[in-house]
């Protein structure tokens, strides 16, 4: 579907050609639509019916339902959105979540129509919600499988994995008396966001605060914005850092997300840091400045492909620590806002890293410590 064709800048013919060249999809039958103008709506609904295959009839199999979203309701606890893949689920059934082994009774189930509408039973292929007095979003994680407690499925649906924080930073309230408010605000955010991790931290310069773990930079920025806007907190945020693996001389491996907890130089054999594979998409005019940025950030150039005549894709292997700073801002400023990026974590590599301490009036301030490459 090619959307928003009513806009003055829309060029559906050029875009269709780009999709064919870059992604390799056949666009000869692409439906052109604009919801605002009412163009193509009937065609889309017809195409869903004719082209999207119906769910398989697996009603006789043991229940397996996939959780795809959940949110916290102050009165009913966690509300889980799920799709029934196999079998059926009834109101009042005793259910079990296969990843965390927790058991509940489905007090209420229903469909979204578009508001929540109660139902007595949902079958294979149907999508709905359930309420079962679940206290924490962490107990109903996205990707988990719901099955019956008595008649359990043999295997869970594939693809579930625990969310592991990749980026860490310290959050300290500007006013010392806001510490309890910050603790409460983080606790409330965690009700809706199972990927947010935090633990108390204290510093001689900053006072009391929290060491927080996030999935990535965007996650960190959203949490920071919400704390400041929704809870009226004024925060000091330390430079973001990543999780390092320290191989100690006694053959132990220690994970270290806080530079102040890095073992002494005499006790460690090597430090490993996480690497990402990063793909940078840019108009060809900005290839030079972007390659310069990649080299500055200890990037290892892999390949360059021209996707279209005027657009190229650069691939680098880059330390995650070099990307969590102002890499994205630099990318945008060097390309006048036209370049974009996506990355995936590929594993750990041994690097020549040292701890950089900052001293104020001769006193080291732990909150300002960072782990950097020896060259820097």
Residues annotated in a binding site for GTP: 3-6
Backbone torsion region of residue 86, taken as left when φ is above 0, otherwise alpha when ψ lies between -120 and 50, otherwise beta: beta
Buried b (16+ CB within 10 A) or exposed e, 115-140: eeeebeebebebebbbbbebeebbbb
3-state helix, strand, coil in the chain (%, to 5): 25, 40, 35
Contact (Cβ atoms closer than 8 angstroms) between residue 81 and residue 110 = no
Spatial distance between the Cα atoms of 291 and 62, rounded to a whole number of angstroms: 54
The Cα angle at residue 323 between residues 322 and 324, in degrees rounded to 5: 100
Residue with tokens 């043991």: 62
CA 139 to CA 100: how far, in whole Å?
Answer: 7
* Rounded CA separation 366/231 (Å): 27
Residues in the annotated binding site: 3-6
Calculated CA dihedral for residues 304, 308, 309, 311, nearest 10 degrees: -60
Beta partners for residue 351, in sequence order = 271
CB-based contact 193:137 (threshold 8 Å): yes
d(CA 229, CA 74): 20
Contact status, residue 146 vs residue 88, Cβ threshold 8 Å: no
Radius of gyration of the chain (CA): 25
Structure tokens at 47: 């195409």
Of 141, 143, 116, give the one whose Cα is nearest residue 131.
116
Residue 92 in contact with residue 130, Cβ under 8 Å? Answer: no
């Amino acid at each position: 579907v090619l959307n928003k064709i009513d806009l003055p800048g829309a060029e559906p013919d050029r875009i269709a050609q780009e999709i064919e060249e870059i992604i390799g999809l056949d666009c000869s039958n692409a439906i052109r639509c604009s919801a605002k103008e009412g163009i193509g709506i009937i065609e889309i609904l017809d195409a869903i019916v004719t082209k999207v295959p119906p769910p398989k009839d697996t009603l006789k199999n043991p229940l397996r339902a996939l959780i795809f979203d959940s949110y916290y309701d102050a009165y009913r606890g966690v509300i889980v959105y799920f799709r029934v893949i196999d079998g059926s689920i009834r109101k009042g059934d005793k259910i079990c979540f296969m990843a965390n082994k927790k058991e509940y009774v489905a007090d209420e189930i229903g469909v979204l129509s578009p508001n929540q509408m109660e139902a007595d039973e949902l079958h294979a292929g149907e999508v709905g919600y359930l309420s079962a007095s679940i206290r924490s979003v962490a107990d109903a994680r996205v990707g988990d499988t719901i099955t019956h407690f008595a008649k359990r499925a043999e295997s869970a649906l594939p693809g579930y994995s625990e969310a592991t924080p990749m980026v860490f930073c310290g959050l300290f309230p500007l006013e010392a008396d806001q510490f309890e408010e910050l603790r409460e605000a983080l606790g409330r955010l965690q009700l809706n966001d199972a990927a947010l991790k935090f633990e108390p931290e204290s510093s001689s310069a900053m006072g009391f605060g929290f060491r927080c773990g996030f999935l990535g930079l965007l996650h960190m920025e959203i949490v920071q914005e919400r704390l400041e806007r929704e809870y009226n907190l004024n925060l000091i945020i330390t430079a973001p850092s990543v999780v390092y693996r320290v191989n100690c001389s006694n053959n132990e491996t220690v994970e270290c997300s806080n530079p102040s907890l890095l073992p002494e130089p005499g006790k460690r054999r090597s430090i490993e840091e996480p690497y990402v594979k990063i793909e940078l998409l840019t108009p060809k005019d900005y290839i030079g400045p972007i390659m310069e940025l990649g080299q500055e950030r200890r990037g290892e150039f892999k390949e360059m492909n021209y996707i279209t005549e005027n657009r190229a894709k650069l691939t680098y292997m880059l330390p995650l620590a070099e990307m969590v700073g102002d890499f994205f801002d630099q990318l945008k400023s060097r390309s006048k806002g036209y370049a974009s990026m996506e990355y995936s974590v590929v594993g750990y590599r041994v690097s020549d890293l040292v701890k950089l301490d900052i001293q104020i009036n001769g006193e080291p301030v732990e909150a300002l410590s960072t782990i950097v490459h020896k060259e820097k």
